[in-house]
Amino acid sequence: MPNKIERPRGTRDFLPDEMEKRREVEKLMRLIAESYGYKEVCTPTFEHLELFTLKSGEGIIEEIYAFKDKGGRDLALRPELTAPVMRLYVNECKVMPKPLRFYYFANCFRYERPQRGRYREFWQFGVELIGSDRAEGEAEVITLAYRILEKLKIKFNLHIGHVGILRKMLKDLDEKTSSKILRLIDKGEMEELKRFMNELGLNELYSSIKDTVNIKGKVDFLESIDIDKDVLERIKKVCELCEVSGVDYIVDLSIVRGLDYYTGIVFEAYAEGLGAQKQVCGGGSYRLAHVFGGEDTPSTGFAIGFDRVMEVCKIEPKKKLRVAIVNAGSYLHAFKVAEKLREKLSNVEIVTDVMGRNLKKQLSHFSDFDFAIIVGKKEEETGIYSIKDLKRGVQEKLSIEDIVNKLSRVVK
């Protein structure tokens, strides 16, 4: 007997109950995005490796599934969706009227140590608003992310920041040094940041950065600190628009997202009940199109970690009405009745016996269903069927038309 083959490390199997819940959550996310005018796009599961190294450097190769195909081309399984969507925009959509509102839902792959809420295959739901560099666009994207998490009944906090504040403080440093500083701030590794900056003789700058990233509150507090006037006005405008949309937020200048392509407003959402891996959504304003051969185009987007959402989401799928067609001597007619009912009833699960069980065993097997319809020779001849309410134990005789009417009323 051959050895049992296990699934690859960092991946999961989903049984029907879990898939039903995941599809219900996915459906709700799609409906909300579409209510804001966003349309779904889909990109390949693998891309040219260069798409990701151009944006993040060669170091990312250690963190992703990179490989050569049979033609010797360097490819990679997508580790995220923003770069593929922007590649799609440059290839296919750059002459379309702006703004473009895209959303996506797809699996991604990263080669990292699996832990709670982090897998080597994971799913992302996200949006990209392409072509707007105004506060209205940024506020729309933040509001959409907030509304999705709210409708999923997740307890979370939304933090809004602006990378321009810290970038201005780091403007005299070389790109490599400033990028490392921003990454350490993004990860919250302040002790490591202190050591790194002390080694470079940047103790005074470290103190200023520490004071800045520790400031959190509503937008009004920004008036009391020394920041660029244009940045201040942008944050105030975005927060004002979010407030009128019913978005509860905290201004948090430690939010920098740690990636070089972010240019302005950034935001993250942290959910309760996830421990250290509590971030469920992150996004902001960026410019990537020119990196992939297009024109310099302002964009704003976010990605929601679908797997983390599923750990804390309170949404449960709506239960379908379950109807068993019980064969009492006429398999052909039982199949025919089942198909008739499936054609006329939506959102109803209709199942026939395919195991050759006798009448008693069928009724026992289908005991947790809502209704059982008995189909035998007599029923085939008369067109009148016994339908039993298995929850209440009540049975009556009805025609197919009356059964359809009865079940339609129950479904409603």
Q: Where do the structural domains in the chain lie, given as residue ranges? A: 16-312, 321-411
Over residues 241-265, the mean pLDDT reads 87
Over residues 186-198, the mean pLDDT reads 86
Tokens 């990701």 sit at which residue? 52
Residues 6+ apart with CB under 8 A from 363: 326, 372
Q: For residue 347, what pLDDT is reported?
A: 87
Query: How would residue 27 be classed by pLDDT, with cut points 50, 70 and 90?
Result: very high
CB hemisphere CA count around 51 (13 angstroms): 28
Q: Using one digit for the tens of pLDDT, what is the confidence trace for 134-156? A: 999 999 999 999 999 999 999 99
CA angle 379, 384, 390 (to 5 degrees): 90
Q: For residue 409, what pLDDT is reported?
A: 92
261: left (phi over 0), alpha (psi -120 to 50) or beta: alpha
What CATH number is given for 16-312 in this structure?
3.30.930.10
- Please state which CATH class domain 321-411 belongs to: alpha beta
Q: For residue 259, what pLDDT is reported?
A: 63
% of the chain beyond a pLDDT of 70: 98
How many Å apart are CA 382 and CA 388, to the nearest integer?
18
Q: Is the pTM of this model over 0.75?
A: yes
Whether 237 shows a pLDDT value over 80: the answer reads yes
How many Å apart are CA 278 and CA 260, to the nearest integer?
23
How many Å apart are CA 287 and CA 290, to the nearest integer?
7
Judge contact between 320 and 348, C-beta under 8 A: yes
The 3 state secondary structure assigned to the chain is: CCCCCCCCCCCCCCCHHHHHHHHHHHHHHHHHHHHCCCEECCCCCEEECHHHHHHHCHHHHHHCCEEECCCCCEEEECCCCHHHHHHHHHHHHCCCCCCEEEEEEEEEECCCCCECCECCEEEEEEEEEECCCCHHHHHHHHHHHHHHHHHCCCCEEEEEEEHHHHHHHCCCCCHHHHHHHHHHHHHCCHHHHHHHHHHCCCHHHHHHHHHHHCCEECHHHHHHCCCCHHHHHHHHHHHHHHHHCCCCCEEECCCCCCCCCEEEEEEEEEECCCCCCCEEEEEEEEECHHHHCCCCCEEEEEEEEHHHHHHHCCCCCCCCEEEEEEECCCHHHHHHHHHHHHHHCCCEEEEECCCCCCHHHHHHHCCCCCEEEEECHHHHHHCEEEEEECCCCEEEEEEHHHHHHHHHHHHC
Q: Using one digit for the tens of pLDDT, what is the confidence trace for 374-401? A: 999 999 999 999 999 999 999 999 999 9
**In the numeric block, which tokens belong to residue 375?**
């189909």
